[in-house]
Amino acid sequence: MTKSSAVAAVIDYVQNPQKTDNGRLITSYACDSRSADDEFLLAKREYEYITGRSQGRRDVIAYHIRQSFKPGEIDPETANRIGYELAMSFTKGRHAYVVCTHIDKAHIHNHIIFNSTSLDYERKFKNFWRSDRAIRRISDLLCVENGLSIVENPQPPKEGYGDWLGNNRTPTWKEVLKQKIDEVLPACATFEDFLTAMKSAGYAVGERRKYISFTAPGQKKPTRMKSLGDDYTEEAIRERLGMVRIITGGGGGQLDAPTEKRHAELSGTRPNLLIDIQAKLRDGKGAGYAQWAKIFNLKEAAKTLLFLKENGIDSYEDLVKKSSSASGDFTAQTKRIREIEARQKEIAELQKQIGTYGKTRDIYAKYKASGWSRSFYDIHAADIILHRAAKKYFDELGMKKLPSINQLKQEYGTLAAELKKLYGEYHKLKDLSRELSVARANAERILGVTPDAQDRDDARAQTRRDTHDI
């Protein structure tokens, strides 16, 4: 099976009408879901034509993300919306994608297929080390925002769809090097120990100039640490070893400044969700990852405490109160924005129908005076049909007297001014609601607090509705 037919087969599978409520639970971005496979291939050809680059057999046409939810906790429409937001956040809106929500299993789940070629045909998405962690963290944040449970121990995906891209391929030198680094780190106490361990593992260590590089036996060109991703730079390795981070700047590296500077660096930064290390170990992560995750959790816990202090929160009860209040304010504002937009749409349609009614009123009056003449109707059928449609529209609204166009324009202008003000506050409220939700989740993990079912239901009810960007 060719790559193109493999992509078509996967997209056909995820769009199965029996799984997506006859296609109702399929959404797409920057492509038509019915022809996504052809559009992805066309984008690939445009990329090769514009850049002159071709990856040959190593080329990947599309990537596949799966996202699952706790059974009985979410409706299909919300799941599809969250899947859309996950794809938008991860791709940053630079790649076309299709989101298909499956409801044929006990657990509702999303399949996201996104094009490896960017929308401008000038770049290709390159999968990076621990991209699954990045995706999961985005998904966890969206679930927290929407009052949903976080799956603590997700099951690894089963091998499926036979010929999906990337199966059984030979690992690259970089992937082998990353794996080896993860293997040797747990036994190392210092960075020098780490370099010695890599030499013992058969790697040649490049001269320590600006960047450190490793060369495996049989490898022709060395691999620089900085090319392995953010988790494998010299600074990141030192962090994973429990050492202080090196701040690069003019001249040589400098050790981190005292506590006051570290406090300043953490102050004002948004805390991230803590990692469930035990769940990660059950997923197959190694001791090196566990050591890195412990340090990560310590930093995020510090960020969380600083965030609470900066916001005047000194108790768990106060945190719960402010988190619920922020979620309620955000939900209420989102609801009001939706109401205004709906009313503006109604006003625009009403203005259109009033204009049509006025333009066709004389023709319809003559038609009535003619005794509903068939010949008159044949000549003026378009105006008569439009007049009747406008009259039906007013009757369905129960309108006895039509408002003036000036009244409608004035109301529309007032709503537009209110909407502008609400939009100015919207993202601030959204960020505050998200930060408090994350801080609450972290505090509950740190304190070992299990929220009452009613508290969780209240939070879920407040944040589940309308919490995505408008």
262 has a pLDDT exceeding 60: no
Q: Residue 231 is encoded by which pair of tokens?
A: 């988790």
pLDDT score, position 112:
94
pLDDT score, position 9:
79
**Confidence category of residue 162, pLDDT binned at 50, 70, 90:** very low
Cα dihedral 40, 41, 43, 44, rounded to 10, equals 120
- Domain annotation for the chain: domains and CATH numbers: 3-145 (3.30.930.30), 173-310 (no CATH), 316-464 (no CATH)
Mean pLDDT of 262-287: 65
Lowest mean pLDDT among 87-91, 233-237, 351-355: 233-237
pLDDT score, position 373:
93
* Closest to 301 measured CA to CA, from 271, 278, 323, 276: 271
319 has a pLDDT exceeding 80: yes
**Confidence category of residue 75, pLDDT binned at 50, 70, 90:** very high
**Confidence category of residue 78, pLDDT binned at 50, 70, 90:** very high
Convert the pLDDT of each residue in 392-449 to its tens digit.
999 998 988 888 888 898 998 899 889 888 887 887 888 888 888 888 888 888 888 7
Q: How far is CA 233 from CA 227, 229, 230, 245, 336, in A?
A: 8, 7, 6, 11, 47
Residues 413 and 344: their CA atoms lie apart, in Å, by 9
For residues 235 and 241, the model is more confident at 235
Residue 444 exposed, middle or buried by CB count within 10 Å (0-12, 13-18, 19+) = middle
**Confidence category of residue 1, pLDDT binned at 50, 70, 90:** very low
Q: What is the percentage of the chain residues whose pLDDT exceeds 70?
A: 81
Lowest mean pLDDT among 16-20, 27-31, 62-66, 205-209: 205-209
**Confidence category of residue 207, pLDDT binned at 50, 70, 90:** low
Per DSSP, 71 falls in state T
For residues 59 and 62, the model is more confident at 62
Q: Residue 84 is encoded by which pair of tokens?
A: 């859309």
306: left (phi over 0), alpha (psi -120 to 50) or beta: alpha
pLDDT score, position 154:
56
| Mean pLDDT, rounded, of the chain | 79
